[in-house]
Structures are given as structure tokens and as C-alpha cells.
Amino acid sequence: MLLERPVDRWEVVALLALLVPGLALAVELGGTPISVYDPNVDPGAFVANAERLAATGDLFATRDPPFRYLPLAVVYALVEPTATGAERIASTLAAVACFVCTPLALWLFARRVTGRVAALAVVVAFVPMRAVGYAMPGYYVGSWQLDYGQPLVFLALLTAHVASTENRPRPAVVTGGLLGLLATVQLGLAALAALVVGVAFLLARAVRPLSWTVAAGAVGSLPLLAHLALSDAATGHLRGTVSNRILPDGSLVVTWEQVPGVVLASGTLITAALLVVAAVAYRRGLAPESTVLRTGVAVHAVAFVVLSVTNLGYLRYVVDQVGPFLLVVVAVAALGRTAAADRVRTTVDRRTTEETPAPPVLALGALLAVATTAVLFLGVPTNLPT
């Protein structure tokens, strides 16, 4: 089982208290006109391409990965919205992916790796991270494809963790399928997730799960490979993305004038602090025992250093969709284990430190929901992008 243990009632209450405010915020943000994202053309492309897909059923009609617009196109085909309604639906679905689907997938991963209470604490930490725009959610700037891909990354890491620890083919096949599906939505995130999963399997000497994952991933990415083979526009767009977004126009290395702005940026300082916490946690044996998580943190650490001194901003934008949240998982787990160790010193049986909810579960859940709502609605700007 992916969850390993059944979900208790108090977990459901706490999780709903954290996710329902995100859903309410997504509905509120759904009224944001896509014109506020100018000059980013991605939101307009979502609406236009999803409408075309709903009308023609042709997955290969655009130059972008073939499944990127499929969820929105399905909704359009069902409700046949007006022009204004089409924009609202597109914005709402992207916000749901950003504020509901991603924390839910992150909770699933963290619950298997860290435990029940720590997983909820990770989602609690996720809320202010989203509210202040740390790790720059795609929704804030109009890159909605990142929001659609982010949940798939954490689900792939979850199944990869299960496959590497249990050495079973089924979760490995699911991992490959998720990576293949991710490639048909957002290729950059798929490459990052595949790197983490592949290295983790090699470190865990999970050769059979790796082979199953590669095979399933190849099958899952067939729509993308066919699209690239049959469409000159798709291959040209991919080539242009590499040359115009990934490779810098000027100097590869940041100049001395750029150093203060890079080093003193709030995102850089927060990530650096989380990396220090993660390093201490692994040094003292407080981090979760997960090869996938450890590999993800290591990849992000290397990427953080390299991308901080180079002008490869687009790559850092992609990496920041995953790495900071893995660091939070490690930090929360380490803090939880430290607190548990302190409690053990004053108790006879360590089993008494097992996560046990307080009796008024519904009342605490209501308070958590109110706090989450306040943080999200007061912190997330309604005049996007920031």
C-alpha cells in the first residue's frame, strides 16, 4: 500500500481544514482575468489550445506537450463555456492545482516517508510558503503548466520510494507511468523527477525497479515522442526553449554586480537556511530514511549552488518547484524527531510519543481551517502576477 497505514478520522479533519481553504481561494482567484499575466502568453495559450482540443480532439494540434491542455479541454467539452467563462474555468483549475492538488500530493509523499503528524505539519508549512510566493508558484506568473505538473512529481517520488524500499515491480511501473505522463505535461519537471528517481534507484541498488520504471516511462512518453517526431513546430519549439530560455544570452556566470541581488534575495536566504537544516538533520541521523528523499535533497543542493552563480534562471525556476518542499519535509521530520527524543527522556515508554490527537478533533480542525483561510486570503495577492 502506498499509504502503509489507514488514514484516521483526525487526519481527515486536519487535512480538510488545510485543503478546503485552498479550494475556496482557488475559486476566488478564478475570477482573475488572464490579461493580468501580460506579457506571459501561457494563460492565453491554455484557453485557446484547450478550446481547439475540445473542438477537434487533436492532441497534436499545438507545439506544446500533447496532454498539457487535456484536463481543461475535457471541461470545455462538457460545459461549452462562453469566452469569459472559459478564462474563469482555466484560471480556477490552475489555482486548484496550485493550492489543492500539490499540497495533497506532497502530503501523500510526506506521510509515507515521515509519518502522519509530520506529513500534516509539512502541509501546514506549505500554506505560508504558497501565501508569500516562496519557490514562485507557476500560478503567480501564469506558468500554469508547472502547477499541473507539480503534483505528478510528488506522486512519482512517492511510488519511487515504495519501489526502492520494497523492490516490487508494480510501484516501479506506476513510477514510470507517472514520469511518462509528466513528460506529456511539462518536460522540465519530468527531466528533474527522472533524474532524482534514476539516481535514487542506482544508490539503492534497485536495478529491477529501475528497469521497470524505464520501460513504463518509455511507454508513457510515447505520445510526446510521437508529437516530436511528427511535428516540426513541436521540435522547433523545444529547440527554441533550450536556446532562448535555458541558455543565457550573455555571460554564463553571474557578474559581480549581480552577486548582491542573488545572495540577498529572500528565496536564496530561505533555501540556504533549509539546506543547512537538512545537512544537520542528515548528519545527526534525524532525517527520514528515504533514498529518494535524500537524492532529491542532494540534487537540489547541487542545483542551488550551480544556479546561484550562473544565469540559468529558467532551470532554477523549474528546480524550485520541487526542491524547497523536499527540504521542508526533511526539516519538519527532523524537528519532530528532536521533539520526540526530548519527550522520551521524561517518559518510561517511547511508544507514548506516538502521534495521538487531542480529544476535540473537530474543534481543533475548525481552528486550523480558520487560520489557514486567514493566511491564504491575506497573503496571496489577488492582483497577480506579483
Helix-, strand-, coil-residue percentages of the chain, each rounded to 5 = 75, 0, 25
The model's confidence at residue 3, banded by pLDDT at 50, 70 and 90, is confident
pLDDT value for 337: 82
Q: Is residue 80 part of a domain?
A: yes
Q: Which residues contact 48 (CB under 8 A, 6 or more apart)?
A: none
Look up the domain containing 68 and give its range: 9-378
- CA dist 42 and 27 (Å) reads 20
| Number of other residues whose CB lies within 10 A of the CB of residue 207 | 11
pTM: 0.89
Asked if pLDDT for residue 163 goes beyond 70, the answer is yes
The model's confidence at residue 98, banded by pLDDT at 50, 70 and 90, is very high
Q: Give 225-271 pLDDT, tens digit per residue.
A: 999 988 888 888 888 877 766 666 666 776 767 767 667 677 788 88
Higher pLDDT, 356 or 153: 153
Q: Is residue 384 part of a domain?
A: no
Per the CB < 8 A criterion, the answer to whether 23 and 97 are in contact is no
Structure-block grid coordinates of residue 328: 521542508
Per the CB < 8 A criterion, the answer to whether 118 and 11 are in contact is no
Q: Is residue 73 part of a domain?
A: yes
Highest mean pLDDT pick, 139-143, 174-178, 272-276: 174-178
Q: Is residue 4 part of a domain?
A: no
Q: What is the mean pLDDT of residues 76-96?
A: 92
- CA dist 192 and 171 (Å) reads 19
Q: Give 305-334 pLDDT, tens digit per residue.
A: 888 888 777 788 889 999 999 999 999 999
Q: What is the mean pLDDT of residues 60-70?
A: 91
Question: Based on the structure, what is the number of domains in the chain?
Answer: 1
Q: Is residue 386 part of a domain?
A: no
Highest mean pLDDT pick, 94-108, 116-130, 246-260, 345-359: 94-108
pLDDT value for 353: 44
pLDDT value for 241: 77
What whole-number percentage of the chain has pLDDT above 90? 52
248: left (phi over 0), alpha (psi -120 to 50) or beta: beta
Highest mean pLDDT pick, 175-179, 204-208, 303-307, 372-376: 175-179
Helix, coil or strand: residue 116: helix
Q: Which residues contact 180 (CB under 8 A, 6 or more apart)?
A: 216, 217, 218, 219, 220, 221, 222, 224
Q: Is residue 96 part of a domain?
A: yes
Q: Is residue 1 part of a domain?
A: no
